[in-house]
Structure 1
Amino acid sequence: MFVAQQLDRLLELGLEEMSGRSEDELLDLVGGELLCGPGLLVVHPSVVPAARLAPLLSRAGKPGFVVSDMTDLAAFSPIPEVEVPDSPLYVVTGVERGDELGDVSPDDALPRIVAAGRTPLTISEGICWLIQQPQMLEPGRCFMTIGSRKVKKGRLDKRTPAIWISGGSERDGGKAVDGAPKVGWCWSGNRHDWLGMASATGRCAPQPHSTVR
């Protein structure tokens, strides 16, 4: 899917209102060269926070949601190994779900991802990917976005963001969210064979002039 098609979808979902920018401004931010190319279009979290993007996810006719015990999602920022472009919109290339790392902890997966010349996805990037390609979230085949972590008292919080499918527990909201995309977290030292480690080959910013406000 070309970047231009992805921008059209985000506009249909209300990106103008959410970002406070007009369609023309958003088009200008991306630039013609990137619009005509492939890659994943990502909305920078300083423009639209991940928690506001999450409800744009959809599966089985149900919108995505953030788990109730992750009210601090906005405090999760890129880890030192991840350099996110300082641009309202940017493009990520070569995105993969990372199923082969499904039984590896985030702590152990990170050096393997870096050694392979790849970069782990952030939570905003993971959400943007599933907005455009919802079929990539499958039962038994979901993923963590270990490129985002929260710094707590000078150290990384042990939680790593992840996106999977709600089983409709009472804690989540019951049957109303059964089967819905769920933004949650897992411990950085734990392994889950059904949660891959999503990564990409790189990130690039559009040429334009504008910077994140």
Structure 2
Amino acid sequence: MARTPFDPEAEFDRQVRTLTDLGYPALSGLGPERFAALVAPLRARATAAPVSLCEPGADGRVPFLLVVTRNVAPIEETMPRTTLHGGRLPGFVDRTFEPGALERFVATEETGLPAQDAYLLLEVERGEEFCGAVPHDAMNVIAGRGRTLLTIEEGIALITHFPQVLVKNKCFSLGGSRCGDRRVPALWISQKAPKLGWCWEGNPHTWLGMASAGTRAAGPA
């Protein structure tokens, strides 16, 4: 059976519906109309997304993600809105994040994060090729390729829109968010649910890769 051609407009609309169905308009305090207005300018950007060569998410790669920042939707509220593919248990933030820690894990200067509260992340890879690699080394390799590391919000967006990407032995670190020490946040599976935790930048794990993307695209200012 021939695969249905990838339709970026339809995919963008699906991602908007996903966030709406998960209660992001109420969570953000914007309400349905203002939330829709926030993300609407990105639809045109989505139409120019690279053509997907396979079913988006099937191999840990997706052409684009609709991301909203913690200014709109706090991490403590968005993580519990994630689940594993086919699962029911809500995602959670690991208790090893001490009080106030999440606020200190911010986007690094190298990410070039857009100023807007919503944007597109393009050409995303979960990075299982880096499973077993030292995170610090993986981040250097990715930088050498001219790619950008995912932030915490972007990682949550990835498993929110494509829960099938987070699977056993193919979990991933989010090196685009740091707090000034050796900790690197990561998403993996625990207690049959997604977990946001962290690992040391010098400690490799066979089941933990390093997620990256090609670039970010914002709508009109």
TM range (shorter): 0.7 to 0.9
Match of 1:117 in 2: 146
Maintained 8 Å contact 2:127/2:209: yes
Q: What RMSD over aligned residues (CA atoms) do the two structures have, in Å?
A: 1.5
Q: 5+ residue gaps in structure 1?
A: 151-155, 167-177
Structure 1 residue 36: Cα displacement: 4.7
d(CA) in 2 for partners of 1:51, 1:37: 32
- Deviation readout 1:87-131 (Å, 9 max, x if unpaired): 111100000011111122221111210111110100110001100
Instruction: State the AA in 2 paired with 1:190.
Output: N
Maintained 8 Å contact 2:66/2:118: yes
Match of 1:194 in 2: 207
User: How many residues are matched?
Assistant: 192
Match of 1:80 in 2: 109
CA 145–190 in structure 1, closer or farther in 2 if over 3 Å, else same:
same
d(CA) in 1 for partners of 2:206, 2:90: 25
1:47 to 45, 50, 72: 72
Structure with bigger RCO (C-alpha 8 Å, 6+ apart): 1
d(CA) in 2 for partners of 1:35, 1:145: 23
Instruction: State the AA in 2 paired with 1:192.
Output: H
1:179 to 192, 199, 209: 192
1:159 to 158, 183, 187: 183
After TM superposition, where is structure 1 displaced by more than 3 Å over at least 4 residues in a row? 34-38
2:18 to 6, 9, 15: 9
CA 36–28 in structure 1, closer or farther in 2 if over 3 Å, else same:
farther
2:45 to 34, 57, 67: 34
Maintained 8 Å contact 1:139/1:165: yes
Structure 1 residue 37: Cα displacement: 5.6
Helix, strand or coil at the partner of 1:84: coil
- Deviation readout 1:177-211 (Å, 9 max, x if unpaired): x211111000011101210100000001111x4xx
Helix, strand or coil at the partner of 2:216: strand
Structure 1 length normalisation: TM-score?
A: 0.85
Maintained 8 Å contact 1:92/1:203: yes
Structure 1 residue 81: Cα displacement: 1.4
Structure 2 length normalisation: TM-score?
A: 0.82
Structure 1 residue 15: Cα displacement: 0.6
